[in-house]
Amino acid sequence: DVVQANLQILKGTTFLRRCNEIRAHPRLSADVPHSVTSKYVPLGPLQPTAGAPAVVPRTPAVGSAAAAASLRRVLLELDRDVTVPLAGGAKGIVHSIPWESLGYGSAEFMALYGTKYPLYTGAMAKGIASADLVVAGGKAGMLCSFGAGGLPPDATSAGLDKIQAALPNGPYAVNLIHSPFDDVLEKKNVDMFLKRGVRIVEASAFMKLTPHVVRYRVAGLERGSDGKVVCRNKIIFKVSRTELATMAMRPPPADMVAKLLAQGLVTAEQAELARSVTMCDDVAVEADSGGHTDNRPLVVLLPIILATRDAMAKETGMRVRVGAGGGMGCPEAVASAFQMGADFVLTGTINQLCKQSGSCDRVRKALSEATYSDIAMAPAADMFDQGVQLQVLKKGTMFPSRAKKLWELFIAYPSLEAIPAPMMERLEKQTFKKTVASIWAETRSFFIDRIGDPEKIERAEKDPKLKMSLVFRWYLGQSSMWANRGVEDRALDYQVWCGPAIGSFNEFIKGTYLDPAVSGEFPDVVQANLQILKGTTFLRRCNEIRAHPRLSADVPHSVTSKYVPLGPLQPTAGAPAVVPRTPAVGSAAAAASLRRVLLELDRDVTVPLAGGAKGIVHSIPWESLGYGSAEFMALYGTKYPLYTGAMAKGIASADLVVAGGKAGMLCSFGAGGLPPDATSAGLDKIQAALPNGPYAVNLIHSPFDDVLEKKNVDMFLKRGVRIVEASAFMKLTPHVVRYRVAGLERGSDGKVVCRNKIIFKVSRTELATMAMRPPPADMVAKLLAQGLVTAEQAELARSVTMCDDVAVEADSGGHTDNRPLVVLLPIILATRDAMAKETGMRVRVGAGGGMGCPEAVASAFQMGADFVLTGTINQLCKQSGSCDRVRKALSEATYSDIAMAPAADMFDQGVQLQVLKKGTMFPSRAKKLWELFIAYPSLEAIPAPMMERLEKQTFKKTVASIWAETRSFFIDRIGDPEKIERAEKDPKLKMSLVFRWYLGQSSMWANRGVEDRALDYQVWCGPAIGSFNEFIKGTYLDPAVSGEFPDVVQANL
């Protein structure tokens, strides 16, 4: 059920907030066992909230600006408890937040690696994570990983000389990168690490275990004097997929260990002990990061791998810690990772901007000016033959486009000699800037003299494809070296590994002492990471204030506003105080009892502590989850700081909206893409069942169907639709502006009343800015001249924003820019704060995309969201407008069963949307249509054999009959004969409309369950489906258990 689905996610979110309160309390964290705060599981149906929510007005007891500023100052002193005066003479306590309390396993992580922080700086290959960077971090007690990946052995050895001389006792780590095409290099690195006593390795890019990484692990095993296994060689394993995490969390493979024993590379005792250890000590989940990445959203991937870890712990009896990386560019992102359950975090991209990195100042300057969108994917040097890509900076360099061209040539031709002469001439002149012959001579020398791998050259001399690969990889390899060394005449070829976190980091430090534009120098790596950690801890304190029923009302927002680095921080002195966990709540029965009462979220819980003391865990009302949650709930008449987002073409059906509305949950009807008569029929059902709401209706921007957008607004105004969810708007249109302004009036108290409310979905900062400003004056003037708004409404339009709420849409189903929420949300929150200063009007900001489990939703609220929206998960619910065949496919999908494909509504612009790829050929067939649209000027120009295949396999009818249907649709149903007239004269537009017939029908076939078109189903789907399926697995919401698809209210509750 759609209500149950959403209610369960909200309840789990609130339970996580309580668990965080326990972790933050110095005594509760030690006395409450992990079983009490373990993963939330839906145990049975929930009752929707009865009555209206209790909205407490904010009348702060801390009234004056001076008192607020004073309180903020002491809150920023994170190492001591703060007593806050409350109204009526009472007091509230905000507890200190030691670093080791940030994650459940943070203290263990810090103790194992001898570091003072639950954070490490990840390796950036080719020495970008330089010896200087590692030494600077290590001297401050911060674990940093040396970027040995991609360096020849002599350069790695030189780096180790410097590191080991400066840090004889650590902490430091060294990167071991998987080298599938340079096995000799990987072996030589392991030889070196073992010989030189490197005790911490960060293993990355491993698609499978190799004898070399297994040897490193096993060769460090011995039995201690107490009989326990001692593991000298520690491994942090970077992973981006569940199967890789599983591989790293199991013991070293027995067959591989046996071979190492037979070769004399490990001892018999070590081979025996290998059964009782895992391949690694820690798994670092690498989400959307710079360099090698699968671009997975952290809010989906981390909860799934945490669940994988818990399953593996049951299987092996050994529990591996899990950390989070990718997008860690600001306190909000790091706080969200700890909120979801990370034991530690790792930063990456941001450290390349720091002065100790192995890059050059020109690259640092480019990074300091980059935004979250200034990145692209390009072929990777180390896995070029496999088609693997990595994420790089695209601003100010031609590397991404030139590297992609090399890949296209590699695919198209069998050898260098087969490449056409004009193309080869351009390559040598513009890209390589030297002859292929000279490149090959350099390549021979590199592999024979520096790497010591003459066999590779011998093979390449006999294999033209391998030779072409090595020549192209010369460019890919040199391009990063040119960037590191700052080679001026190769600036347009700089390869700069970079993730979207650079945008949130630049926003975080803007205008502070860390900003190069302010200080005149690039930031220090220790200061950059310490400031993020301090901001994270401050956010945790702010959450404690929000969760406290009195503190939340008595502390003004200025006290808990965004953390800003004000000046250099002193690294932690001495070793961290690691408190052993000896829970006072000792027995399993007592722990189970405590967990039961903690799940009763509407009352405070008193917890017995050691020595007879007691701790209090406060109730968490829904309205306290986000700072603006209560206002959101009051404005829309909903009982929850959540709404279910519209899925177009009626997938977010009238039945779904009614089910949610009857439970007091705001749901948005998927009117986008429906003809007006279908939208009207849906509204009939909704308005009959919910005469007083709550419900919303989607208004989707239709750049090529302006008439449809206008007709929808006409209908909404006529029928009194009071909440619209505006989506896919790349610019404001007269129609959406008219909807907003036509609802304005002046109340009896003289204040502006805005009857027509808008939630604006955005995925870019410029769109958020557009939505947070008043309606454009010129557009309002035209509406006034046309008689579509009154003079009073036009006047009042100056004093309202275009929307009431902005919903930040990250990596979601359907239309999406695939941006990571942990980067995008903090940036748009900062944009909102800037716009509030400019306009004097503050818009609430919510979070969507990846909201498939409590951990994701809790992370959104932790970052500062006022509300959340769910999407993909609701399509699986029984009330959605989809068919059971689609629901079943969704219920079996993982986070990786998705792909991008052309969008019907913006096909001509090349816009894509995210869809399910498992069990359907739609993504590949739709992409083929786009390729044909680009390649040919008209339908008639498409070669006859290709057109025959299209009509037979894809369309399953003739183009003539499709055109007849298209004519009828636009003339009879949409009422837009002008479009048909234009298409009859414009062959390209006609081709577009025919291809869009397939794109449009494919979603209809999926919704209606048309059996003979199952292979063409277009199912909009985001990666959240994977985390939702993991969340409900084995519970009453799991279709495999219950025999039915979940209720929408239960799922969200």
pLDDT in tens, 237-281: 999 999 999 999 999 999 999 999 999 999 999 999 999 999 999
- If one compares 250 and 600, the residue with the highest pLDDT of the two is 250
* Residue 579 in this model has a pLDDT that exceeds 70: no
Instruction: Give the per-residue pLDDT at 24.
Output: 55
* Residue 86 in this model has a pLDDT that exceeds 80: no
Match 């900001």 to its residue by tokens: 845
CA distance 248 to 239: 9
Amino acid in position 643: Y
CA distance 173 to 121: 10
Strand, helix or coil at 143?
strand
Kindly list the distances between the CA atom of residue 421 and the CA atoms of 406, 424, 425, 428, 430, in Å, as whole numbers in the listed order.
Answer: 15, 5, 6, 11, 14
Mean pLDDT of 137-164: 94
Task: Say if residue 85 is preceded by a cis peptide, omega within 30 of 0.
Answer: no
DSSP letters for 563-619: ----SPPPPPPSS--------SS-SHHHHHHHHHHHT-TTS-EEEE-GGG-EEEE--
* Residue 207 in this model has a pLDDT that exceeds 70: yes
Nearest-5° Cα angle at 443, 439 to 447: 175
Q: Model confidence over 710-736: pLDDT tens digits? A: 999 999 999 999 999 999 898 999 999
* Residue 367 in this model has a pLDDT that exceeds 70: yes
Task: Indicate the pairing of strand 642-644 with strand 867-870.
Answer: parallel
Banded model confidence at residue 533, pLDDT cuts 50, 70, 90: confident
Q: Is 725 exposed, middle or buried (0-12, 13-18, 19+ CB in 10 A)?
A: buried
Q: Of the ranges 379-388, 596-605, 645-654, 943-952, which one carries the lowest mean pLDDT score?
A: 596-605
* Residue 581 in this model has a pLDDT that exceeds 50: no
* Residue 595 in this model has a pLDDT that exceeds 90: no
Q: Cα 202 to the chain's mean position, in Å?
A: 23
CA distance 708 to 905: 12
Task: Indicate the pairing of strand 757-762 with strand 91-94.
Answer: unpaired
CA distance 865 to 511: 24
Beta bridge partners of 173: 145
CB 99 within 8 A of CB 117: yes
Instruction: Give the per-residue pLDDT at 318.
Output: 95
Banded model confidence at residue 17, pLDDT cuts 50, 70, 90: low
Instruction: Give the per-residue pLDDT at 851.
Output: 94
DSSP state, residue 1020 = B
642: tokens are: 């959540």
Sheet with 912-916: strands ordered across: 814-815, 912-916, 898-902
- Which residues does 945 contact at the CB level (< 8 Å), separation at least 6? none
CA distance 704 to 976: 11
* Residue 911 in this model has a pLDDT that exceeds 60: yes
Instruction: Give the per-residue pLDDT at 594.
Output: 77
CA distance 593 to 588: 9
Please give the model's pTM, rounded to 2 decimal places: 0.88
Instruction: Give the per-residue pLDDT at 467.
Output: 95
Q: Model confidence over 40-51: pLDDT tens digits? A: 566 677 676 666
Match 């001439």 to its residue by tokens: 425
Residue length, the chain? 1053
Match 């900003």 to its residue by tokens: 515
Instruction: Give the per-residue pLDDT at 708.
Output: 87
* Residue 63 in this model has a pLDDT that exceeds 60: no
* Residue 55 in this model has a pLDDT that exceeds 50: no
Beta strand extents in 141-209 (DSSP E only): 143-146, 173-177, 200-204
Q: What percent of the chain is helix, strand and coil (3-state, nearest 5)?
A: 50, 15, 40
DSSP letters for 873-893: HHHTSTTSSS-HHHHHHHHT-
Q: Kindly give the residue spans of alpha helices, DSSP state H, lying in 234-297.
A: 242-249, 254-262, 268-273
Task: Indicate the pairing of strand 221-223 with strand 229-231.
Answer: antiparallel
* Residue 580 in this model has a pLDDT that exceeds 60: no
Q: Of the ranges 77-91, 255-269, 541-555, 692-706, which one carries the lowest mean pLDDT score?
A: 541-555
- Which residues does 131 contact at the CB level (< 8 Å), separation at least 6? 146, 158, 159, 160, 162, 163
Alpha-carbon torsion (1004, 1006, 1008, 1011), positive or negative: positive
* Residue 59 in this model has a pLDDT that exceeds 50: no
CB 393 within 8 A of CB 375: yes
Task: Indicate the pairing of strand 2-5 with strand 844-848.
Answer: unpaired
Banded model confidence at residue 28, pLDDT cuts 50, 70, 90: low
- Which residues does 175 contact at the CB level (< 8 Å), separation at least 6? 123, 125, 129, 145, 146, 147, 148, 149, 201, 202, 203, 204
Kindly list the distances between the CA atom of residue 614 and the CA atoms of 193, 584, 588, 608, 611, in Å, as whole numbers in the listed order.
Answer: 50, 11, 19, 5, 9
CA distance 906 to 441: 49
Closest CA to 1051 of 769, 820, 851, 915: 851
* Residue 312 in this model has a pLDDT that exceeds 90: yes
Q: Model confidence over 324-337: pLDDT tens digits? A: 999 999 989 999 99
Instruction: Give the per-residue pLDDT at 8.
Output: 66
Q: Model confidence over 454-494: pLDDT tens digits? A: 898 999 999 999 999 999 999 999 999 999 999 999 999 99
CA distance 884 to 1045: 8
Q: Model confidence over 795-816: pLDDT tens digits? A: 999 999 999 999 999 988 887 8
Q: Tell me what the pLDDT averaged over the chain comes to.
A: 89
593: tokens are: 């009892």
Alpha-carbon torsion (537, 540, 545, 548), positive or negative: negative
* Residue 70 in this model has a pLDDT that exceeds 60: yes
Match 């291809």 to its residue by tokens: 995
Mean pLDDT of 503-510: 92
Match 């989809």 to its residue by tokens: 882
Kindly list the distances between the CA atom of residue 331 and the CA atoms of 128, 129, 528, 862, in Å, as whole numbers in the listed order.
Answer: 23, 22, 11, 10
* Residue 1000 in this model has a pLDDT that exceeds 50: yes
SS in 3 state form for 445-509?
HHHHHHHCCHHHHHHHHHCHHHHHHHHHHHHHHHHHHHHHHCCHHHHHHCCCECCCHHHHHHHHH
Closest CA to 619 of 640, 597, 634, 637: 597
Instruction: Give the per-residue pLDDT at 488.
Output: 94
φ, ψ of residue 910 in degrees (nearest 5): 80, 15
* Residue 556 in this model has a pLDDT that exceeds 80: no
907: tokens are: 């096909």
CA-based end-to-end distance of the chain:
10
DSSP state, residue 671 = -
Alpha-carbon torsion (362, 363, 365, 366), positive or negative: positive
φ, ψ of residue 727 in degrees (nearest 5): -135, 155
Match 């009763």 to its residue by tokens: 600
What crossing angle do the helices spanning 211-218 and 183-195 adopt, rounded to 10°?
A: 10
φ, ψ of residue 109 in degrees (nearest 5): -60, -45
